[in-house]
Amino acid sequence: MAQSSDDLRTRLLRLGRAAKAGDQAADDAREARDRAIHDADAAGWSLLQIADVVGIDPSSVLRAIVREQGRRQLIDLKGDEPR
């Protein structure tokens, strides 16, 4: 039996909000991971060590380090977190 328009609307709204919240949670987790990767690099860990622990390839580790360095440089210049 087909769902009513109201049921479909409710379902779409609920799932759309859940997907958006999931995307935001994934973004937040990636940002926190990138900060931890940068900290591990600053502590002297090799790219291969970090990649092995995090479970990503070394080139992704390097990109995360560069992104985090750029973010921190912006904070130093502006004095606050970039938006």
Q: Exposure string (b/e) for 2-38, b if CB count within 10 Å is 16 or more?
A: eeeeeeeeeeeeeeeeeeeeeeeeeeeeeeeebeebb
Q: 29 with 54: CB under 8 angstroms?
A: no
Mean pLDDT, residues 41-63? 97
| Model pLDDT, residue 26 | 97
pLDDT at position 1 is: 60
Distance of alpha carbon 18 from alpha carbon 23, whole angstroms: 9
- Residue 63's pLDDT is what? 95
Query: What letter does residue 43 receive in the DSSP assignment?
Result: T
Over the stretch 14-50, which tens digit does the pLDDT of each residue have?
A: 999 999 999 999 999 999 999 999 999 999 999 999 9
- Distances 76 to 11, 57, 68, 69 between C-alpha atoms, Å: 45, 29, 12, 10
